[in-house]
Amino acid sequence: MAKDVKCEVNNCKFWAEGNRCHADIIYVVSHNGKSAANVKETDCQTFEPSI
């Protein structure tokens, strides 16, 4: 399991200094069902805009 999760989307409410993600859980999905061939075929569904 990853010790640290990095994120450069600084308008996400889970973003923290040092480009760290402070979400309790990370949810990543594939554009093609249950598998992906590369990073471009995935999305982070954990993102929530900061207010």
The Cβ-side half-sphere exposure at 30, using a 13 Å CA radius, reads: 7
Q: Quote the pTM value.
A: 0.80
The DSSP call for residue 49 is B
Q: Tell me which residue range forms the domain holding 32.
A: 1-51
For residues 4 and 17, give the distance between their C-alpha atoms in angstroms, rounded to a whole number. Answer: 13
pLDDT tens digits, residue range 1-51? 778 999 999 999 999 999 999 999 999 999 999 999 999 999 999 999 998
> What's residue 50's pLDDT?
95
The pLDDT score that the predictor gives to residue 3 is 84
CA dihedral of residues 38, 8, 18, 25 (deg, nearest 10):
-70
pLDDT, position 19: 97
Q: Note the pLDDT of residue 1.
A: 77
- pLDDT value of position 31: 95
| Count of domains observed in the chain | 1
Beta partners for residue 42, in sequence order: 30
